[in-house]
Every structure is written in C-alpha cells, then in structure tokens.
C-alpha cells in the first residue's frame, strides 16, 4: 500500500501509541479491512485533487494513520484531508453495493466488506467521522482480550475422549 500512496503523491504520517496491548484477531481479516479503508481514502484524495485542479488550485494530499488504545479497545484510524463524508450518505456508506462513484468506477463493496469483517468476525466496531483536516476519519475499534485456549489434541474433549478411553480398556 505504501507504494500506492507514493505513486499518488500522498503525504502519509503514522502515529502509533507506545506499549499497545496485543489484540487477538485473524491478521488476514484485519489486513483486508485496513486495505479497504486505505483504498477508500486514496480514492477520495484523488477525487479531491481532480476537483481542485479543475479550478486551477493545488492540493496536497495528506493521510494520517493512527493506532491508539481507548479503554478496552485498540483503535486504528485512517484520516484524510479530502472532502469528508456528507451527512446524507453517512448512514449508507457501509451498505453493500453503495457507491458515490460513476457506473463502472467502483463496486460499492470495499467499505461493506470492511464493516462485515469488523463487526461479525473481529468483534469490533467501525465508523466514520469528520476530522480537523476537513476530511473523513475512519475508525476501527477492536477489543483487547486474551486468546481463548483451544483444547489440546490429547485432552479427550468430553464424550469423545470418554468413548476412546472405554475402547482402549476393552
């Protein structure tokens, strides 16, 4: 993704809080969520640049990625300085197939997939809000919790283990 932002002349800054606790999630799912949110931000920045250039203005694309702890959650934030999310569509942006792009330009699935993964698979929350740069901040909050120990293969696992033990005694 870093190369994508370089190619699109996006200034990226990272702010990662020290001593963050571990979160126990499927890393592939978290990666997919972050790729979808980052792609959405890059596209919004590109659209804002086109708009500025059509008026003869220059626009410096900026993206801030933060990771912090808020109470019992680790929060990933992707903030851009594009135009933000208008109130009239804010409630729809996570719907499947909803897009603000022209026909053939977007599937409307990126943020929907991110929402499904965060809420159903990762046990978290995703939302958008305006930020101090005039753009949108997408936030993903994931719970801090210890991993659930899985039973060892030799622990017997209840009924099945009892049946195996009885078979061995015969």
Are the C-beta atoms of residues 76 and 139 closer than 8 Å to each other? yes
Higher pLDDT: 106 or 148? It is: 106
> E-strand spans in 43-154?
61-70, 73-80, 125-130, 136-143
SS3 of 170, please?
Answer: coil
Please compute the mean of the pLDDT values over residues 37-66 and round it to a whole number: 94
| Residue 125 to residue 142: CA distance in whole angstroms | 7
Q: Is 167 a residue whose pLDDT tops 90?
A: no
Cβ neighbourhood burial of 142 (10 Å; 0-12, 13-18, 19+): buried
Residue 154: what pLDDT? Answer: 58
How does strand 10-16 pair with strand 73-80? unpaired
DSSP string, 141-152: EEE--PPPPPPP
Q: What angle do CA 75, 80, 83 make, to 5 degrees?
A: 130
> Which residue, 147, 127, 146, is CA-closest to 136?
127
CA distances for 2 relative to 8, 10, 14, 24, angstroms: 10, 9, 12, 25
**pLDDT tens readout for residues 83-141:** 999 888 998 999 998 887 776 677 789 999 999 999 999 999 999 999 999 999 999 99
pTM of the model: 0.80
| Domain annotation for the chain: domains and CATH numbers | 2-169 (3.30.565.10)
Residue 130: what pLDDT? Answer: 94
């Amino acid at each position: 993704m870093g190369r994508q932002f370089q190619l699109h002349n996006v200034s990226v800054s990272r702010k990662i809080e020290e001593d963050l606790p571990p979160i126990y999630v499927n890393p592939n799912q978290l990666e997919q969520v972050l790729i979808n949110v980052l792609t959405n931000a890059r596209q919004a920045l590109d659209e804002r640049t086109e708009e500025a250039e059509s008026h003869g203005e220059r626009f410096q694309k900026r993206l801030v990625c933060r990771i912090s702890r808020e109470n019992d959650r680790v929060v990933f934030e992707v903030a851009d300085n594009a135009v933000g999310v208008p109130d009239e569509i804010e409630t729809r942006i996570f719907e499947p197939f909803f897009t603000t792009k022209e026909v053939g330009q977007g599937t409307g699935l990126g943020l929907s997939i991110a929402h499904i993964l965060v809420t159903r698979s990762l046990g978290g929350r995703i939302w958008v809000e305006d930020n101090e740069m005039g753009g949108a901040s997408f936030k993903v909050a994931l719970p801090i919790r210890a991993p659930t120990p899985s039973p060892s293969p030799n622990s017997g696992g209840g009924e099945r283990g009892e049946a195996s033990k009885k078979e061995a005694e015969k």
